[in-house]
Amino acid sequence: MNIAPNLFKAYDIRGLVGSELTSPIAEAVGRGLADWLPSMGPVAVGYDMRPDSRELAAAVRHGLTLQGRDVIDIGEVASDMIYYAVGSLKAAGGAMVTASHNPGQYNGIKMCAEAARPISIETGLADIRDAIEADDYKVVDRRGEITKRNIMDAWVTHALSFVEPKSWPAYHIAVDTGNGMGGEVMPHLDDKTPLVIEPMFYKLDGTFPNHPANPLVAANLVDEVAEIKADRLDFGIAFDGDGDRAFLVDETGRIVPGNIMSAFLAKHFLKQFPGSNIIYDARNSRLVVDVITENGGIPIKSRVGHSFIKQAMRENDAPFGGEFSGHFYFRDNYYADSGLIAALVGVQVVADSGKTLSGLVDEYASRYARSQENNFKVADKAAMLARLERTFADGEADHFDGLTVNYADWWFNARPSNTEPFLRLNVEATTPQRLDEKLDQLTQILNG
């Protein structure tokens, strides 16, 4: 079977529906996954609210059953629920039909093995792809069966086990789910916490009629910021399309960036598990390292990407891992990321602090000035990285994940994207002036 060249990404499958990702391709993915999974047993399958997700999920299920795998159909769910399903039901693996925050014309498939272990291009995706291209599947003597399972109540109970809602004030907050899967999950928490919630864009709609469901982009949260300010709310929560990322928005309308959330969530878990290893990604902030160290933890750097973070957490028995992108990982959630758990623990941190969210964030924000991640189209990524290393040869360089160059008062990381034709640049400095100076210098080089 012919496959579009860029359909298989570093961590998942993602492409344009109808041309790159079709039902026959999805069925083949199910067959390839069924054969590849190391463990015996059923496979959990879920899907998001995109117009074609239900059909693609049916094709994945059919492919799995053709290869003799029984299937647990968990229906229309958030992506973090597939990891919970695989772990809690002791399934052999899982497949989630979603394209996360990508526009509505895209879709994809995220997969994992037993205990929610990630499947990346280096740990199985390439093997599945090769089997599909060769039409090479095992001969089986039975067809698998499909059973439906509603895990919503169990999932919500599990997520709430990370926090103590009885200790929370009755915060009045806005929750923007961007017409994504968070709108299906959040109503199930209504009578389980003291939160007073103003729901925003809860209606499931995979065409994203109100704004793109990517809270990493400030322009997508203008409605929530306006709601928070107009009604003088305590803060807000914003989910991405498939619900596995969540960002907090303080009462002034400031979006809490991933590095600051990584820092205060790390501190929270170090209170629970003193002296623990905490994982952070290579583009995250010096702030995260400082906070982990100050609170008696051991900071351990990982390559960017969920498969690397999860592996590092398992290897180091880390209770928490944080990425600058807003993916947060929890040992007691099968080492998987979850937007819901991150949001709930974020509320717990605010409640425990006794401060406003802006007051809490101010403690961290004053230490370093940080850029957003900037993308640059570069014809020859390796040549550009070499040029950057020559230009900044007086700094301390490492090649752990792309190129990182450290100076006393600033640093940068330039990393080839695993999914797009970009170099991704992150810059941090001890002052806003130094940040602006170095960001301008790097931008000129990368645009040249």
């750097």: which residue's tokens?
301
Q: What is the pLDDT along the chain (448 residues), one digit of tens a residue?
A: 999 989 999 889 999 999 999 999 999 999 999 999 999 999 999 999 999 999 999 999 999 999 999 999 999 999 999 999 999 999 999 999 999 988 899 999 999 999 999 999 999 999 999 999 999 999 999 999 999 999 999 999 999 999 999 999 999 999 999 999 999 999 999 999 999 999 999 999 999 999 999 998 999 999 999 999 999 999 999 999 999 999 999 999 999 999 999 999 999 999 999 999 999 999 999 999 999 999 999 999 999 888 899 999 999 999 999 999 999 999 999 999 999 999 999 999 999 999 999 999 999 998 999 998 999 999 899 999 999 999 999 999 999 999 999 999 999 999 998 667 799 999 999 999 999 999 999 999 999 8
What is the CATH architecture of 152-367? Answer: 3-Layer(aba) Sandwich (3.40)
In whole angstroms, what is the distance from residue 436 CA to residue 21 CA?
A: 42
**Cβ(410)–Cβ(437) below 8 Å:** no
**Cβ(108)–Cβ(10) below 8 Å:** no
The DSSP secondary-structure symbol of 332 reads G
Annotation marks residue 100 as catalytic: yes
Q: Could you check whether 13-150 and 152-367 share the same CATH topology?
A: yes
Give the domain ranges of the chain.
13-150, 152-367, 369-447
**Cβ(79)–Cβ(95) below 8 Å:** no
**Cβ(264)–Cβ(349) below 8 Å:** yes
**Cβ(52)–Cβ(207) below 8 Å:** no
* Overall CATH class of domain 13-150: alpha beta
**Two structure tokens written together for 316:** 């180091």
The DSSP secondary-structure symbol of 97 reads E
φ, ψ for residue 345, nearest 5 deg: -65, -35
Burial of 377 (0-12, 13-18, 19+ CB in 10 A): exposed
Among the listed residues 53, 100, 120, 307, the single catalytic one is 100
Burial of 297 (0-12, 13-18, 19+ CB in 10 A): buried
* Overall CATH class of domain 369-447: alpha beta
User: Which of 89, 165, 99, 151 is closest to 345 using CA atoms?
Assistant: 165
